[in-house]
Structure 1
Amino acid sequence: MQRITNFLREVVRELKKVSWPNRKELVNYTAIVLATVVFFTVFFAVVDLGISELIRLLSE
């Protein structure tokens, strides 16, 4: 039980050292992540559509 208690104390101590982002940084980082996800979603959808059409044309 002592090991678990020591571990949790160390976790709390380390979390106090973390430099947490402020609200503006958090909003900016979130927007960047969402924009990246949307970009790659559209990119892979277009690539998938292109490959599907190519396979359909070749199988006719």
Structure 2
Amino acid sequence: MFKFLKDVNREMQKVSWPKSNELSKYTVIVLLTVLFVAVFFTVVDLGISQVLEML
């Protein structure tokens, strides 16, 4: 168990962590993408519902 944790620690030190400004940029991109997908599927769902109500 301790060897595993040592190995994990060693590997985590090799990770290239994003800088603060990169992290902020990536966070905004992810949030905008999620918002776009949510709006897109809401519009598609409402459109399909309207088409089915007409039938």
TM-score in terms of structure 2 length: 0.99
Q: Tell me the number of residue pairs that the alignment of Structure 1 and Structure 2 aligns.
A: 55
The counterpart of 1:54, out of the listed 45, 51, 54, is 51
Unmatched 5+ stretches in structure 1: none
Structure 1 residue 33 displacement after superposition: 0.0
1:44 aligns with 41
Percent of aligned positions that are identical: 56
Higher Cα Rg: structure 1 or 2? 1
User: What SS is found at the alignment partner of 2:9?
Assistant: helix
Runs of 4+ off more than 4 Å:
none
TM-score in terms of structure 1 length: 0.90
1:30 matches 2:27: yes
Unmatched 5+ stretches in structure 2: none
Q: Report the Cα distance in structure 1 between the residues aligned to 2:50 and 2:6, rounded to whole angstroms.
A: 58
